[in-house]
């Protein structure tokens, strides 16, 4: 083992020898991040997706469609 000296400040390790280790950890962290994102369990999502009936109810509540249109569209969705 080499001793500490002015020309081997890290005991023989150079900065180039750290690059593979750093790249390994960066790739590992990136893979865990992608796995986490694609699993669908991240906490900042809005929750479950809205169904077409939920969207139809929102449009009716906002007044974008009247009761007759709502009932017709609801029947179409139930088919």
Beta strands in 2-66 (DSSP E): none
In sequence order, what are the beta bridge partners of 78?
none
Q: pLDDT tens, 8-42?
A: 555 556 667 778 889 999 999 999 888 877 776 66
Tokens of 20: 């593979």
**Residue the block writes with tokens 């390994």:** 24
Predicted confidence band of residue 4 (pLDDT cuts 50, 70, 90): low
Q: What is the mean pLDDT of residues 43-55?
A: 77
Which pLDDT score, from 0 to 100, does residue 79 have? 74
């Amino acid at each position: 083992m080499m001793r500490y000296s002015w020309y081997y400040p890290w005991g023989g390790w150079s900065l180039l020898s750290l690059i593979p280790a750093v790249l390994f950890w960066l790739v590992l962290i990136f893979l865990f991040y992608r796995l986490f994102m694609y699993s669908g369990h991240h906490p900042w999502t809005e929750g479950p997706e809205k169904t077409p009936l939920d969207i139809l109810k929102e449009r009716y509540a906002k007044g974008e469609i009247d009761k007759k249109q709502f009932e017709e569209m609801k029947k179409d969705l139930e088919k």
